[in-house]
A and B are shown apart, each in its own frame.
Chain A
Amino acid sequence: MRDTIIVFKKELKGIFRDKRLLITITLVPLLFIPTLFYFVGQTSSGVKYEKITIAYKESSGFIDLLRKNDIELLHIDDVNLAMKFDAWNVFVREDDKQNEITVYINTKLDNFRVIKRRIDFYYSEYKNETIEKNLNALKILPSQIYPKKIVIKDVTVRKNRYSIVLSFLLPYLILIYLFSNAMGVGLDSIAGEKERGTLQLLLVNRIKRNNILFGKLFATMSVSLTGTIFSLIGIFIAVKMNFMNFESNINFIMKPDDFLFLSLLIISLAMFIVSILIFISTYSRTIKEGQGYIMPIYLVIIILGISSLTPGSSIAIQYTHWPFISSITGMVKLLVGEYRLQDIFTAIVSNIVLASILIRLSAYFFNKESIIFRK
């Protein structure tokens, strides 16, 4: 333990003396994340309030409904001119004989999906209104035609929808931050020493291989967690300042127990991630070689993260006990406030067990001449 602390302190001193690294893990997330949220917020609010102009030839019930909903309408007599889409997004043509409304839309437009969704929404409203009107004319009550409506009422106290969106996004971001912050330092910790030839200097001293590895593991974990904490502060600032232009405030108050479990889960995940990096660093001759091994793993983690952060996704349900997925789903549940202690405990223990196995393997590599002196 004493030797582990000596290595840890030395590593930490060297790491935090690197001004570039220090700026990258502290100042950059504090400035970059709020800026990113601000621009995303600006872009999304632009999409939300996009103006739609609809051209039409014959006035009809559907056009009347659009008019009621403050859609800008443009009457055009010439069909050929209407199809040119100069100052309008959609051209609507109603054919009473065919009982059809044809909506012409230019799919080359960037926002055509948004426009199509809005047209669908108004059409559904128009359809319901028309059916109701016709039923009234026939003196039939809608309840005589339609089966009973189903109303689902949630009895749990939920956070607002923006908080829930963020609860799903945050674990994924935490995973990415933990990995990316530790990548450079983790690979340099052993592969870098091999490249510089200083590993021999360390190995020839009376220190156990495990102590070297644990010292480096804890130092790299410190960098990973520091960077992640600053990134989370960056997100917190962006959310508090409402840079995303959310319509309501996000409430992220956690119970002390939930916060403790979340912290333990993040620390265990950092340990697992860093042990992967240390393992690869031990095997690699150079940092460059290590980067070659780590990039595919990083991509897999990104894909797993994206797949499992979608609420109710099949990956999150089927592979819930897999490494990384168990941590992401655990974090999501903790943030939403609906979790089983057993799942969180399993995720924490599995992270620690996997990290220990990787450290054991790294120590084994440390004693293998064919790995340490590989040319």
Chain B
Amino acid sequence: MDIKYNALMIELDNVTKIFKQKNKSIYACESINIKIGERQVFGIIGPNGAGKTTSLRLISTLMNPSLGRIVVNGFDTVKDKMRIREIIGFLTSEMRLPDNYTPRELMKFFGKLNNMKNSDLSDRIEFLTNLLSLEEYVDVLIGKLSTGNKQKTLIAISIIHNPSIIIFDEPTSGLDLSAAQSVLRIINIMKDDGKTIILSTHNMTIAERMCDRIAFINKGKIIKEGTIEDIKELYRSKDLEEIYFNLI
């Protein structure tokens, strides 16, 4: 994988996304400017419908911006989709795996799609299986797995090709406490491994625990962006939730 060295990994430059609905223009994202550095964990914080998922879909090339430009590792998300797709792993809380495959089969499938060699793929499957504690379940049909193990499988699939950028949309949504904890542990491991991670959540505790920088988003607009310490200091509060509600 040819990744150019660039301290600035992701840049959203004045990005606006407009959806047309019955002759009405809905601004899902409006004039968003974000810069995310390499090896950073960046949190996009906001309630449901604030524009988090749309922002992540824009970064991951699933959608094109209506206005503005997004550059990921030096590549334009509109012009160089394939180059960007090689280096990102994407996971949303909406994803549900098909029941009639095993985690190993799905990992193999997505690995092959990403041009991985058979030997590398086998090693990677073994590594992820151990990392996610899926040893017992890797050959069990998805339909028979618990919600937590299904989520772990989704994570494994999204990072099977060892991407340098990982985009997780509400990764702990719908999980019980123990499953959520193990997902957060995995994100921490990936952070230590030097990955650039974008995390969307409405959970302030997770944001505080995981992120280096955060952006508060509301009604499609970024209302504040910075490091958690800077934001807390600026608003003289230790409670991120309180700061957020004061801002909106």
B114 and A200 within 8 A (CB)? no
Chain B residue at minimum C-beta to C-beta distance from A205? B113
Check if B219 is an interface residue, CB within 8 A of chain A. no
Check if B70 is an interface residue, CB within 8 A of chain A. no
A201 and B95 within 8 A (CB)? yes
Check if B149 is an interface residue, CB within 8 A of chain A. no
Task: Name the residue among A17, A18, A204, A369 with the largest chain B CB count within 10 angstroms.
Answer: A204
Across the interface, A204 reaches (CB within 8 A) one of B20, B85, B96, B109, namely: B85
B95 and A197 within 8 A (CB)? yes
Given contacts A13-B105, A206-B82, A206-B113, contact A200 B97 (CB under 8 A): no
9-residue interface stretch from B86-94, B125-133, B190-198, B204-212: B86-94
Given contacts A14-B100, A18-B100, contact A200 B95 (CB under 8 A): yes
A17 and B100 within 8 A (CB)? yes
Chain A residue at minimum C-beta to C-beta distance from B97? A198
Residues of B within 8 A of A206 (CB): 82, 85-86, 113-115
Check if A6 is an interface residue, CB within 8 A of chain B. yes
A13 and B113 within 8 A (CB)? no
Chain A residue at minimum C-beta to C-beta distance from B96? A196
Chain B residue at minimum C-beta to C-beta distance from A192? B98
Across the interface, B158 reaches (CB within 8 A) one of A6, A13, A201, namely: A201
Given contacts A200-B94, A204-B90, A206-B113, contact A10 B63 (CB under 8 A): no
Residues of B within 8 A of A203 (CB): 62
Complex: A372 Cα to B88 Cα, angstroms = 20
The total of Cβ contacts below 8 Å across the A-B interface reads: 68
Residues of B within 8 A of A14 (CB): 98, 100-101
Complex: A146 Cα to B110 Cα, angstroms = 83
Shortest Cβ gap from A373 to chain B (Å)? 7
B85 and A205 within 8 A (CB)? yes
A10 and B85 within 8 A (CB)? no
Chain A residue at minimum C-beta to C-beta distance from B83? A206
Complex: A131 Cα to B199 Cα, angstroms = 100
Complex: A201 Cα to B95 Cα, angstroms = 8
B113 and A369 within 8 A (CB)? no
B98 and A201 within 8 A (CB)? no
Residues of B within 8 A of A373 (CB): 57, 62-63
Shortest Cβ gap from A39 to chain B (Å)? 35
Interface 1/0 per residue, B96-139 and A, CB below 8 Å: 11101100010001101111000000000000000000000000
Shortest Cβ gap from B169 to chain A (Å)? 10
Check if B73 is an interface residue, CB within 8 A of chain A. no
Check if B61 is an interface residue, CB within 8 A of chain A. yes
Residues of B within 8 A of A6 (CB): 109, 112-113
Check if A341 is an interface residue, CB within 8 A of chain B. no
Given contacts A6-B113, A196-B96, A369-B64, contact A201 B157 (CB under 8 A): yes
Shortest Cβ gap from B86 to chain A (Å)? 5
Check if B60 is an interface residue, CB within 8 A of chain A. yes
B113 and A200 within 8 A (CB)? no
A369 and B63 within 8 A (CB)? yes
A10 and B94 within 8 A (CB)? no
B100 and A200 within 8 A (CB)? no
A10 and B109 within 8 A (CB)? yes
Residues of A within 8 A of B63 (CB): 369, 373
Interface 1/0 per residue, A93-111 and B, CB below 8 Å: 0000000000000000000
Task: Name the residue among A14, A17, A197, A206 with the largest chain B CB count within 10 angstroms.
Answer: A206
Chain A residue at minimum C-beta to C-beta distance from B82? A206
A196 and B64 within 8 A (CB)? no
Check if A258 is an interface residue, CB within 8 A of chain B. no
Shortest Cβ gap from B158 to chain A (Å)? 7
Given contacts A13-B101, A204-B85, contact A198 B95 (CB under 8 A): yes
A198 and B96 within 8 A (CB)? yes
A207 and B113 within 8 A (CB)? yes
Residues of A within 8 A of B101 (CB): 10, 13-14, 17
B114 and A205 within 8 A (CB)? yes
Complex: A289 Cα to B100 Cα, angstroms = 23
Complex: A18 Cα to B101 Cα, angstroms = 10
Check if A343 is an interface residue, CB within 8 A of chain B. no
Residues of A within 8 A of B113 (CB): 3, 6-7, 205-207
Task: Name the residue among A7, A13, A205, A207 with the largest chain B CB count within 10 angstroms.
Answer: A205
Given contacts A205-B114, A206-B85, contact A10 B92 (CB under 8 A): no
Residues of A within 8 A of B100 (CB): 14, 17-18
29 A-B residue pairs with Cβ-Cβ distance under 8 Å, sorted by A, are A6-B112, A10-B105, A10-B109, A13-B101, A14-B100, A17-B101, A196-B96, A197-B92, A197-B94, A197-B95, A197-B96, A198-B95, A198-B96, A198-B97, A200-B62, A200-B90, A200-B92, A201-B95, A201-B157, A204-B88, A204-B90, A205-B113, A206-B113, A207-B113, A369-B62, A369-B64, A372-B62, A373-B62, A373-B63
Q: B residues bordering A, Cβ < 8 Å?
A: 19-20, 57, 60-64, 82, 85-86, 88, 90-92, 94-98, 100-101, 105, 109-110, 112-115, 154, 157-158
